[in-house]
Chain A
Amino acid sequence: MATIAATVKPAETTATVTVSYEHPWVVRMAHWLNAVAVFVLIGSGLRIFRAFPSFGPKIPQQDFIDVPGQLTIGGWLGGALQWHFTFMWIFIGSGLMYVIYELATGHWRQVLFTARDIKGVWPMARHYFLFGPKPEVDAAYNPLQKLAYTSTIFFGLVSTLTGMVLYKPAQFWWLAWPMGGFHFARIWHFIAMCGFLAFIPGHLIMVALHGWNNFYSMVTGWKRDPEYLG
């Protein structure tokens, strides 16, 4: 190894790249597994919702919205349930993987949205959506990013807990109580999905705006010429 390095080095001293390890393996793994799971769970969830597209009683039934079948996964209620009951494990598993890792390494401090970040949200939103001046950011994640990423953890927690109540109401009836009961669990479950649906387009737009190099760092972890080095 040493001899190879020695022979290669002189020729390449001028051509070097600065790389930073941005996203540890656990985070990337959890991110992509979760991305797939959220996609499948929303698609199959909407198909399940089509079977009874209401939050009211069965008699009389008042439909809330008609979700086009083409936007759903599973083909029919039974198929959608299979997708839902399979990918819920991947969703919960990847979520736990991420949260436990962040807690264990202390990295959660970089990304958790706290009261200190509130004042920084509007200037950042103004910059992104209204072409305002770019606020100084001296942390790994800006306040708007922290808000977005922290809210996905919150939506994940809400969809998991409400999902447990919907899946096993006889076992977890006590868990339904703080949600306002079984019917509200179904409403919160739907709202949590809306939270993900609100996050995803903004997230994808930001990924597109920040280009391939930034995107690729979520794939391999390594970011070439990180922007914060100037």
Chain B
Amino acid sequence: MAEDGQYEERRSGEQKPQHVAPEAEPEVQASKAQESEAQATVVPPNVGPAGEPIRVVTPTEHKRMNRRQLLKLVPVVAVGAFAIPKFRQPLLDEGLALSDWASGRLFSRHRLAQTFSSSEVVPFERFPYNFYDVADPGVDLDTWTLKVQGLVQHPGEYNLEQIQALPKIVQNTRHVCVEGWDVIGNFGGARASDFLRLIGADTSARFLEAQCADGYYESIDMATMLHPQTLFCYEMYGQPLDRGHGAPLRLQMPTKIGYKQAKYLLSVSVTNVLQGDRRGYWEDQGYSWYGGL
């Protein structure tokens, strides 16, 4: 190692540096003689562990050196801003925004989420019902239509038959809840990208907003809406969606976390602007908006 080389060089040259504490010499020499095999790792007496020369300084100089180094740790103190109530939430919002931004950069429309064999799918009875208010908001399934608005060529009301007329995709994918649990389920529906084409959506727009029959609301980035595994889902386990799982139509995105998968859809809107306080039911309370998996 460089330090040892330096040390040996100085020793052989008999240039004992003046600032080395003299009493250190015999002791180190003795231990060196005893353990010749450990020679390679002996700490040189004139060089500190970081490879810097040991120095003999005045107390004033010592204080000055300490102060200088202390100032260089200011970035650590900056982290202390998280302890100040006034700055805390804005900083955490920035942190979450950074994570969301990185998540969006990581996402590729062409990278598919893992799909599973039917033996890995959890039985329907063990697929949890998850809702924020009521399991069944009482949608009238006979008269239900999906209202389409915003940046689309064909706004209006769409019924389930029109959505079911699109090519049907069935996939076994993982549903991941923000709480930490997950289930592999079987989902069937129309590709969101096919539906967006049907309604003549401007796919260069940034978001799709969704309103639900239970008052829930969501907004999804367009890249995810165009992902080939993103479905307008009307079936689970080969059966029409039951009321608890969001009948008659829900979002199903294996690249998004559970709370993004809006159920009981009533209307969708293609837009470039999200209202600040209407980004999503949980997001407005502090969850990540991107919610990507």
Contact = CB atoms under 8 A, between A and B. Distances in A.
Contact of A109 (B1, B52, B114, B180): B1
A168 B43 contact: no
Contacts of A59: 125-128
Interface string A199-230: 00000000000000000100111111010111
A166 B7 CA distance: 49
B107 A86 contact: no
A19 interface: yes
A220 B288 contact: no
Consensus secondary structure, chain A interface: helix
Interface stretch (B8-16, B23-31, B236-244): B23-31
A23 B287 CA distance: 40
Interface string B47-84: 01111101111111010011001101101100100100
Contacts of B62: 17, 19, 222, 224
A106 to B, nearest CB: 7
B201 to A, nearest CB: 24
A220 B73 CA distance: 8
B113 interface: yes
B50 A182 contact: no
B161 interface: no
B56 A182 contact: no
B76 A18 contact: no
Category for how many chain B residues contact A: 35 or more
A122 interface: no
Nearest to B181: A58
Given A24-B50, A79-B286, A230-B27, A51 B180 contact: yes
Given A16-B56, A228-B43, A182 B293 contact: no
A172 B91 CA distance: 28
Interface in B177-228: 177-183
A187 to B, nearest CB: 11
Contacts of B23: 230
B50 A21 contact: yes
A15 B58 contact: yes
B106 interface: yes
B122 interface: yes
A109 B49 CA distance: 11
B35 A57 contact: no
A21 B42 CA distance: 17
B141 interface: no
A229 B176 contact: no
B181 A54 contact: yes
A163 to B, nearest CB: 12
Contacts of B137: none
Interface stretch (A125-133, A134-142, A150-158): A134-142
A18 B21 contact: yes
13 contacts: A8-B60, A15-B58, A18-B54, A48-B180, A51-B179, A51-B180, A81-B287, A87-B95, A138-B35, A168-B106, A169-B176, A170-B254, A219-B69
Interface of B: 1-2, 19-21, 23-24, 27, 31, 35, 38, 41-43, 45, 48-52, 54-60, 62, 65-66, 69-70, 72-73, 75-76, 79, 82, 91-96, 98-99, 103, 106-107, 111, 113-114, 122, 125-128, 174, 176-183, 254-255, 282, 285-288, 292-293
The 9 A-B residue pairs whose C-beta atoms are closest, nearest first, are A86-B95, A20-B48, A21-B52, A78-B286, A52-B180, A170-B113, A140-B49, A58-B181, A51-B179
Given A51-B179, A57-B126, A168-B293, 5 more contacts: A16-B57, A19-B62, A138-B38, A173-B113, A229-B54
